[in-house]
Structure 1
Amino acid sequence: MAGEKRFDRVALVVNSGSRSGAAAFEEVRGRLDDLGVPLGEWYQVTDGARLPEVVAEVADHHDLVVVGGGDGTLSTAVDHLAPRRVALGVLPLGTANDFARTLRIPFGLAGACETIAHGKVVDVDLGRIGDNHFVNVASIGLSVGVTRALTPRLKSRLGPLAYPLAAVRAYRAHQPFRARLEFPDGDHAPMEFDDLLQVAVGNGRHYGGGNVVSPTAGIDDNTLDVYAIPAGRVRDHLSIARLLRNGSVVRHQNVVHVTTRRLNLHAEPDQAINVDGEVVATTPQEFSVQRNALVVLVPQESDAARLDTRHP
């Protein structure tokens, strides 16, 4: 089988706190075994705080780690897989699954397991903020309020429909902020904004349950997409919201969009930062892109990325 030829030491780590993680664990073990994937160890992590510890441990003695969970789980896992050049197999078990969407990995367990057994190896870029990586988007402003409004109960009850409801709640409570964007590589002049709704820094293509960062955004282009949305009238924001799905929001007259490889972001007052659906940092921070930092399995027909560096 394909899994046996390429990977000799495979571990499975499933976040049982993700939307469908608990129910998926045994099914995935059986499917991977039937497909010839040589699982040596498997862990069902019920406490999400322990997940980094488990991934770090298995990454030291496996060449493929299959991770089941949402985007926040995957973002945490890559902190330990990327530096070791350990390959990632993705089981999309969250609410948004935007990393899988970007890479065109099937959401269903059968298709995701087939990808792990018979998919191709590619390497993708990762965003970096401080000592942490992100796979999709890091942002400040409204998105932080949305993340905080997305309670486990709401996600469990409504699934992807929880996002628009959380967005409405966050919008009503939002407080505008000031920001300064600096570009250490000198590719853009510094930018100052007085009243903002949101600043987003995208590494991948999708975020927020299927929204597109920009029409040209990709996860293998060595580029960060940065956009700033000003505070303003409700009708302006409604016109912007309608453009989020296909990424044409960056062409709206009220939205500022640039591409870069490094960004220093300052805000007043300091703002919490949402990293792939988890609030994990505060401004000020430097953002950068790491080219071909993560090795991952994708379907043979996926054209989202290619293998640019040699995988051990």
Structure 2
Amino acid sequence: MRHVLVLLNAKAGTLQHRDGEAVCREVVERLSRDGREVEVRLLAGEPLLRAIRASGRGPHDTVIVGGGDGSVSLAARCHENSGKALGILPLGTMNLLARDIGMPTDLGAALDALDTARPHRIDMGTLNGRRFHTISGFGFFSQMARARETARRWGLGRFFAVPIAAFLALRRTGRIHIDVEVDGRQRHFAAFSALITVNRFTGPGWHRGHLDDGLLEVHIAEDRGALARLKAGADMVTDSWRDNPGIISLTGRDIVIRRGGRRRTWVSTDGELARERLPLHYRVMPQALELLIPETTPQRASIS
């Protein structure tokens, strides 16, 4: 890590009420140790997207993106075969990948962690050929993403937004009939949700213990009636879903999901909601991303 480009999302929640220039100075000061050259850009909207897309082709050997999961996902897609290491400053709401590698959410602590972080190769997944780093889901999960945006527009904090979003999502989610094919073996489910993760959730708080096992895991929440649906929805929100017999988990490297005669469905992938064409085809891409991971964080996912 000698020539570092830092791209900060000026609209990220953590930066909304801070002096942008002061943040840039702090980033340069903390990351310029050991003679590193550090360039910081504070951007928003289309200029930020263009800068992230171009960062995989620039002269820097390391690119650090400060924002939420959407910014991180775009950066991960743009750094395929770039030869550069990618770092994360978790400035968003969920910070899925950042949590799995043990990145602190405090800006100063995150910069200190990046200062001593080392590059490791981790797995990624693809949905219909497009890369993602952590999670993709439809049914209840895509409705959760839509309802969470509604709760945010109402001005609710995360403590209230999550349960309210879950309630709204359960009201909007109906029974869906899906065929799930895992590594060539197909099963039919009457479900209200399906979730696909890159590697398995093995720890508390929807935490992945390993990021380089070369696996996908699909979780199907079966529709066993209104009360069972409420219980499954509550278990997913409160992280006790592994003990729910109505939630089936299957692992594999190639997963195809079909929904009757439907051509498209709403899917939430790494926090981004989009209408995706069916069937949904997921593949794992082993060690596809070179990511800076803190060396001294005890909670971080293990890397071989």
TM over 0.5: yes
After superposition, the Cα gap between the structure-2 partners of 1:161 and 1:27, relative to the gap in structure 1 and judged at 3 Å, is farther
**Is the 1:212–1:244 Cα contact (8 Å) retained in structure 2?**
no
Q: Percent identity?
A: 23
Deviation of 1:17 after TM superposition, in Å, equals 2.8
1:158-177 to 2 correspondences below 5 Å: 158-159=157-158, 161-177=160-176
Match of 1:179 in 2: 178
1:35-114 to 2 correspondences below 5 Å: 35-37=30-32, 38-47=36-45, 49-61=46-58, 62-114=60-112
The partner residue of 2:120 within 77, 102, 122 is 122
The AA in structure 2 aligned to 1:279 is L
1:152-231 to 2 correspondences below 5 Å: 154=152, 157-159=156-158, 161-183=160-182, 185-186=183-184, 189-193=185-189, 195-203=190-198, 211-212=205-206, 218-231=210-223
Match of 1:17 in 2: 11
The SS at the match of 2:161 is: helix
Asked if 1:279 is matched to 2:267, the reply is no
RMSD: 2.5
Deviation of 1:114 after TM superposition, in Å, equals 0.8
Deviation of 1:32 after TM superposition, in Å, equals 2.7
Deviation of 1:285 after TM superposition, in Å, equals 2.1
Taking the aligned partners of 2:70 and 2:160, their CA distance within structure 1 comes to 18
After superposition, the Cα gap between the structure-2 partners of 1:254 and 1:90, relative to the gap in structure 1 and judged at 3 Å, is same
Deviation of 1:19 after TM superposition, in Å, equals 1.8
TM-score with structure 2 length normalisation? 0.85
Taking the aligned partners of 1:222 and 1:79, their CA distance within structure 2 comes to 18
Deviation of 1:240 after TM superposition, in Å, equals 2.5
Kindly provide the CA deviation profile for residues 232-290 of structure 1, in whole angstroms up to 9, marking residues without a partner as x: 33432343245436855244221221111111111133422110111134131210111
How many pairs does the alignment contain? 291
The SS at the match of 1:244 is: helix
Asked if 1:290 is matched to 2:290, the reply is no
**Is the 1:182–1:263 Cα contact (8 Å) retained in structure 2?**
yes
The AA in structure 2 aligned to 1:297 is L
Match of 1:31 in 2: 26
Taking the aligned partners of 1:204 and 1:71, their CA distance within structure 2 comes to 17
Structure 2 stretches lacking a partner, 5+ long: none
The SS at the match of 1:145 is: helix
After superposition, the Cα gap between the structure-2 partners of 1:36 and 1:104, relative to the gap in structure 1 and judged at 3 Å, is closer
TM-score with structure 1 length normalisation? 0.83
Runs of 4 or more above 6 Å deviation: none
**Is the 1:203–1:289 Cα contact (8 Å) retained in structure 2?**
yes
**Is the 1:123–1:294 Cα contact (8 Å) retained in structure 2?**
yes
Deviation of 1:152 after TM superposition, in Å, equals 7.4
1:139-150 to 2 correspondences below 5 Å: 139-150=137-148
**Is the 2:28–2:38 Cα contact (8 Å) retained in structure 1?**
no
After superposition, the Cα gap between the structure-2 partners of 1:192 and 1:241, relative to the gap in structure 1 and judged at 3 Å, is same
After superposition, the Cα gap between the structure-2 partners of 1:32 and 1:9, relative to the gap in structure 1 and judged at 3 Å, is same
Taking the aligned partners of 1:217 and 1:117, their CA distance within structure 2 comes to 23
After superposition, the Cα gap between the structure-2 partners of 1:81 and 1:31, relative to the gap in structure 1 and judged at 3 Å, is same
The partner residue of 1:301 within 279, 296, 300 is 296
